[in-house]
Amino acid sequence: MEKDQKLTRELIKFSNNSGIDIIGFANPKEFERFKNENRPETYLKDVQTVIVIGIYLYDIILDSWSQDQTTGKSFHFLDSILENRAHRIKNFLLNKKYNSIIIPYNPGIYLKDSAALAGLGHIGKNNLFISDKFGSQVRLRAIVTEAPLVTGKPIENNQYCKGCNICISSCPAKALTPEGYNKQACLSYNLSNLLKLSDYTSIWCNICIESCPQSKKSQTSVLKGYFD
Ligand code: B12
Ligand code: SF4
Ligand code: SF4
């Protein structure tokens, strides 16, 4: 199907006006490297484009998880905002007669990989997606759509990290090594070192993000001031 440049431009403009800091588009064919449950067509049969959105975590409070005291279910502050923005995009595309599905968080499709596949940035030695504007200090969400949007070129290489090992030496769990990321070490550290804001609200470790020079660029989110 021919790519719709006009619709792509309109959607980028709409997202900028909707409190979304970054948006990119990936080709579903790039996801053949993943298991079925992590592929876009599992969620939408006639998928044409994977849309990745991100919001800058300009204040660490946006990264807090709160547990509902009756159901035990946890909610992430910025994830809830991202979900709201994803609904806006879904409705925008529905008005243009295109179906879309907001990808569930877990298993879903892999968000940092989707962002790199959309050409929004690369995956660093901190094992996270690094955007040009916000470094890794950006949280992500994905939507799959039947709209034929113009997709970006995947970024497989890692341009920022050459000669840098700051995140590796900063990780308190030694979960980051030159050979790669040790998920179990990171998870165990996090579970026993949650920053408790209250009995029901906590924040996970962010050191591999905050220590990265790319995340320290001073930037203003389009969301900033939204709640003032
Ligand atoms: C499970 C999970 C966890 C687990 C395990 C993490 C893991 N990486 O396995 C735990 C609970 C430990 C965890 C910890 C954290 N998480 Co987490 N987590 C996830 C989740 C749900 C899935 C991650 C996953 O399995 N990815 C896929 C596998 C294949 O990737 P991987 O093995 O980690 O990395 C490989 C690929 O990236 C590949 N690769 C390298 N270069 C390239 C280039 C291309 C083009 C491709 C395709 C692949 C590729 O090589 C890597 C090594 O093998 C995602 C949300 C989602 N649905 O994607 C969030 C997510 C990755 N987490 C996130 C964050 C922020 C964190 C934490 C900082 C904690 C926090 N404060 O929230 C830490 C950071 C840990 C770290 N340095 O990676 C963010 C990252 C945002 C970003 N800018 O990248 C995500 C995307 C959530 C979100 N909504 O934004 N997480
Ligand atoms: S701290 Fe350095 S090595 Fe780690 S992700 Fe950032 S730029 Fe790359
Ligand atoms: S989240 Fe913390 S423990 Fe996990 S890799 Fe990053 S710095 Fe290390």
Q: Would you kindly state where each structural domain of the chain is located, as residue ranges?
A: 5-216
Name the residue with the closest Cα to ligand 2, atom 7. Answer: 161
Mean pLDDT of the region 18-23:
94
Ligand 3 proximity of 103 Cβ (cutoff 6 Å): no
Ligand 1 proximity of 27 Cβ (cutoff 6 Å): no
Name the residue with the closest Cα to ligand 3, atom 3. Answer: 186
Q: Per-residue pLDDT tens for 55-67?
A: 999 888 899 999 9
Q: Which amino acid is at 15?
A: S
With 0-12 / 13-18 / 19 or more C-beta atoms within 10 angstroms meaning exposed / middle / buried, residue 159 is: exposed
Closest ligand to Cα 81: 1
Ligand 2 proximity of 52 Cβ (cutoff 6 Å): no
Mean pLDDT of the region 161-165:
93
Q: What is the pLDDT of residue 222?
A: 58
Q: What is the pLDDT of residue 158?
A: 83
Ligand 1 proximity of 4 Cβ (cutoff 6 Å): no
Instruction: State the distance from the centre of ligand 1 to the C-alpha of 228, rounded, in angstroms.
Output: 31
Instruction: State the distance from the centre of ligand 2 to the C-alpha of 208, rounded, in angstroms.
Output: 8
Closest ligand to Cα 207: 3
Say which range, 11-15, 158-162, 215-219, has the weakest mean pLDDT.
Answer: 215-219
Band of pLDDT at residue 228, cut at 50, 70 and 90: very low
Instruction: State the distance from the centre of ligand 3 to the C-alpha of 137, rounded, in angstroms.
Output: 13
Which backbone phi and psi does 8 adopt, to 5 degrees? -60, -45
Instruction: State the distance from the centre of ligand 3 to the C-alpha of 130, rounded, in angstroms.
Output: 15
More confident residue, 61 or 52: 52
Q: What pTM was estimated for this model as a whole?
A: 0.95
